[in-house]
């Protein structure tokens, strides 16, 4: 965690913009997607190899950096994008809790993952319908 009080997302955005102004930039979105896939592979490898937590954290950080790069490359503000996904996930979690309650569950702890995913799909559909969008899985 950043102890200095600075916002690391702001710092990363500033460094990314400086890098782009310097000419260090992605040529297209597909290369960024390939980088994101590569970072996911590195996370998976670090987990499978039971590498130290610090190594796993580093790879997750690289994936977050790649997501910020994609936002900026695509012309989106990373903070606005993050704010939207927080709102979306919050709505889905509220829907998930409601779906779980309707099915007699006050928690998902201990439930088989297949059931949890089934409830999650239903919650996503309900949240999307509530927001006027068709549910997409």
Average pLDDT along the chain, 137 residues, taken 10 residues at a time: 72 97 98 99 98 98 98 98 97 97 98 98 92 57
Q: How many distinct structural domains can be found in the chain?
A: 2
Question: Do residue 94 and residue 55 come from a single domain?
Answer: no
CA distance 49 to 92: 33
Spatial distance between the Cα atoms of 82 and 85, rounded to a whole number of angstroms: 5
Can you tell me which residue has the tokens 């910020």?
68
Residues 70 and 33 in one domain: yes
Residues 61 and 117 in one domain: no
Q: Are 24 and 60 within one domain?
A: yes
Token code pair at residue 113: 């993952």
117 within a domain of the structure (yes/no) = yes
Residues 64 and 12 in one domain: yes
pLDDT on residue 133: 61
Do 96 and 65 have their domain in common? no
Q: Is residue 14 in some structural domain?
A: yes
Is residue 137, in this structure, part of any structural domain at all? no
How far apart are the C-alpha atoms of 46 and 97, rounded to whole Å? 33
Q: What pLDDT sits at residue 90?
A: 96
Q: Is there a single domain that holds both residue 59 and residue 91? A: no
Q: Are residues 117 and 94 located together in one domain of the fold?
A: yes
- Its domain, for residue 106, covers 81-130
The verdict on 13 and 56 lying in the same domain is yes
Do 12 and 67 contact (CB within 8 A), yes or no? Answer: no
pTM over 0.75: yes
- Helix (H) / strand (E) containing 28: none
Whole-number pLDDT of residue 134: 55
Does residue 95 contact residue 127 with C-beta atoms inside 8 Å?
A: yes
Same domain, 63 and 87: no
């Amino acid at each position: 965690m950043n102890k200095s009080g600075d916002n690391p997302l702001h710092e990363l955005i500033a460094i990314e913009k400086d890098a782009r102004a310097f000419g260090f930039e992605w040529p297209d979105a597909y290369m960024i997607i390939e980088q994101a896939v590569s970072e996911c592979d590195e996370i998976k490898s670090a987990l499978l190899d039971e590498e130290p937590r610090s190594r796993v954290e580093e790879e997750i950080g690289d994936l977050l950096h790649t997501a910020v790069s994609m936002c900026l490359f695509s012309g989106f503000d990373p903070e606005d994008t993050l704010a939207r996904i927080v709102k979306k996930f919050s709505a889905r979690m509220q829907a998930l809790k409601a779906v779980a309650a309707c099915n007699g569950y006050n928690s998902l702890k201990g439930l088989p993952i297949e059931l949890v995913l089934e409830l999650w799909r239903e919650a996503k559909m309900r949240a999307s319908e509530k927001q006027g969008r068709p549910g997409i899985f």
